[in-house]
């Protein structure tokens, strides 16, 4: 049987028309709408309980979260073995001499002033002491009198010696009696004693003259060291006593001049006439806390900085130690000698001295606000799995805002900063990292 394409076309057209007729039937759209509504209702009824349960769970979680106290924590870490210690110090000369007067009188001449460089033995001032000069002349006269008396005593001794020799011969030949011989011998001994007494008087007069001559030499005030005159407390005409107190100005005026920033002149503050300092060699003294006293020894290097020269650093060395802690401050006194080849530093400048040393067991470094003092000792509050635990510790060196814990902590522990009363043993908390400003 042969297929005829012309015969199949009418059948296909008939089926397409029937399909279009069924789509235009009202029940078709009704059934489709009902199916969509059923499916949407089923989806909504299944989603709504889940949404409600999710909100309830989130609400309970938020409630529990808000009920937990929030604490700020920092991570404890092992301190570096290489440590730096900065201590304050004041620059002072290696040698400073306060010069006083040993002669009472008036300042006649000034040969040096503040800022002058002087050498050992150089004349600084001349004091006019008329009474002292008169005493020296008097002692010269007394010495001459003593020498004349010694000459007379020696002549008398020579005469008595000759007399005794003649009497002794005549007495041996019976011309003179033994009594006369004894009298001559006694006179000889008396003359000999007179010579010794006169010699002692001469020696005493010589010593007295030397004493007053030495005192008279102090009318010339000289520098005992090489250095720079850093203070002059007298003027020409000032009356000074043997203690060096100048009376040219009242103490009030002298203090006022000093407070005004001017040189101390016209009155001897503290009894000194001059102050001479060797400002070429400088040093500073520092007080090392007891916790670092064993880590610093003589010979160690030091670096010094000054606010007047912030970009420059000076070197020094620990040259001397007291080797004993002050019982009042519990500090060790160290002397640091400063190397200043260009001589830019001046005595009295404030210095920051940096010392570097190796600490054998520095400990764990934490914030100083983390330690809780109790009657049983010192504690810190740790957060372990969001639970508070109070850990006893032993505190080592205190750096101020931070401190070292030698026992009780390990590297990585979460330590609560500034714990409040809500922080108790076993309490669940929320831990938040402390701001950077509160970590120290």
Q: Tell me what pLDDT residue 257 has.
A: 39
- pLDDT for 13 equals 52
pLDDT for position 409: 87
Instruction: Kindly write down the DSSP assignment for every residue of 143-206, as one continuous string.
Output: HHHHHHHHHHHHHHHHHHHHHHHHHHHHHHTTSS-HHHHHHHHHHHHHHHHHHHHHHHHHHHHH
Q: What does the domain layout of the chain look like in residue ranges? A: 70-81+362-438, 85-92+279-358, 95-127+224-277, 130-217
What is d(CA 176, CA 271) in angstroms, rounded to the nearest whole number? 74
Q: Minimal CA–CA distance to 225: which of 90, 92, 91, 94?
A: 94
pTM for the model stands at: 0.55
Alpha-carbon distance of 334 to 319, in angstroms, equals: 8
Asked if 355 and 339 count as a contact pair (C-beta separation under 8 A), the reply is no
In 218-321, which ranges are continuous DSSP H helix? 251-259
Task: List, in sequence order, every residue forming a beta bridge with 416; answer none if it has no partner.
Answer: 73
Per-residue model confidence (pLDDT) at position 126: 95
pLDDT at position 241: 84
- pLDDT per residue of the chain (440 residues) written in tens, 0 to 9: 444 444 444 554 545 555 455 555 566 667 777 777 767 666 666 666 666 677 776 766 665 555 678 888 888 888 777 778 899 999 999 888 999 988 888 999 999 999 999 999 999 999 999 999 999 999 999 999 999 999 999 999 999 999 989 888 888 888 888 888 889 889 989 999 999 999 999 999 999 999 999 989 999 999 999 999 999 999 998 888 876 444 444 333 343 334 333 444 444 433 789 999 988 889 999 999 887 888 888 999 999 999 989 889 999 999 999 989 999 999 999 999 998 888 889 889 999 999 988 776 778 888 888 888 888 889 989 989 889 999 999 887 777 788 888 888 888 888 989 888 888 888 888 888 888 755 55
CATH architecture for the domain at 85-92+279-358: Beta Barrel (2.40)
Contact status, residue 338 vs residue 345, Cβ threshold 8 Å: yes
With a CB cutoff of 8 Å and minimum separation 6, the contacts of 120 are 223, 224, 225, 226
CA distance 434 to 440: 10
Q: What is the CA radius of gyration of the chain?
A: 53
Count the residues in the chain. 440
Query: In this structure, which topology does domain 95-127+224-277 adopt according to CATH?
Result: OB fold (Dihydrolipoamide Acetyltransferase, E2P) (2.40.50)
Q: What 3-state class would DSSP assign to 303? A: strand
Three-class SS of residue 293?
helix
CA separation (Å) from 428 to 67, 392, 415, 423? 10, 20, 14, 9
The pLDDT value recorded for residue 440 is 52
- Distance, in Å, from the CA atom of 363 to the CA atom of 368, rounded to the nearest integer, reads 14
- Give me the CATH topology for the region 70-81+362-438: 2.40.420
Residue 383 tokens read as: 């957060």
């Amino acid at each position: 049987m042969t297929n005829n394409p012309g015969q199949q076309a009418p059948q296909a057209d008939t089926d397409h028309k029937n399909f279009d007729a069924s789509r235009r039937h009202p029940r078709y759209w009704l059934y489709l709408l009902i199916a969509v509504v059923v499916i949407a209702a089923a989806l909504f009824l299944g989603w709504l309980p889940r949404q409600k349960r999710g909100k309830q769970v989130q609400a309970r979680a938020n409630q529990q979260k808000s009920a937990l106290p929030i604490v700020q924590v920092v991570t404890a870490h092992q301190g570096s073995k290489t440590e730096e210690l900065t201590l304050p110090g004041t620059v002072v000369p290696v040698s400073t001499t306060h010069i006083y007067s040993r002669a009472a009188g008036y300042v006649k001449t000034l040969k040096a002033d503040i800022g002058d460089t002087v050498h050992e033995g150089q004349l600084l001032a001349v004091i006019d002491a008329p009474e002292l000069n008169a005493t020296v002349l008097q002692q010269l006269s007394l010495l001459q009198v003593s020498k004349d008396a010694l000459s007379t005593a020696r002549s008398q001794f020579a005469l008595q010696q000759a007399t005794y020799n003649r009497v002794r011969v005549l007495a041996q030949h019976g011309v003179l009696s033994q009594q006369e011989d004894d009298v001559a011998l006694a006179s000889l001994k008396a003359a000999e004693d007179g010579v010794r007494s006169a010699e002692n008087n001469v020696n005493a007069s010589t010593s007295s003259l030397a004493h007053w001559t030495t005192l008279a030499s102090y009318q010339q005030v000289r520098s005992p060291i090489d250095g720079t005159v850093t203070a002059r407390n007298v003027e020409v005409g000032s009356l000074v006593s043997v203690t060096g107190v100048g009376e040219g100005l009242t103490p009030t005026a002298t203090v006022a001049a000093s407070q005004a920033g001017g040189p101390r002149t016209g009155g001897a503050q503290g009894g000194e006439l001059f102050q001479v300092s060797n400002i070429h060699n400088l040093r500073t003294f520092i007080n090392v806390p007891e916790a670092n006293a064993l880590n610093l020894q003589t010979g160690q290097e030091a670096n010094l900085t000054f606010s007047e020269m912030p970009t420059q650093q000076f070197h020094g060395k620990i040259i001397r130690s007291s080797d004993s802690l002050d019982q009042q401050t519990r500090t060790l006194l160290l002397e640091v000698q400063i190397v200043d080849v260009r001589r830019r530093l001046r005595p009295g400048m404030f210095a920051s001295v940096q010392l570097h040393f190796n600490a054998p067991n520095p400990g764990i470094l934490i914030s100083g606000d983390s330690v809780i003092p109790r009657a049983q000792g010192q504690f810190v509050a740790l957060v372990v799995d969001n639970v508070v635990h109070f850990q006893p510790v032993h505190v080592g060196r205190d750096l101020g805002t931070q401190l070292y814990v030698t026992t009780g902590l390990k590297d990585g522990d979460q330590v609560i900063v500034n714990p409040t009363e809500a922080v108790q043993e076993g309490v669940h908390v929320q831990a938040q990292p402390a701001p950077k400003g509160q970590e120290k």
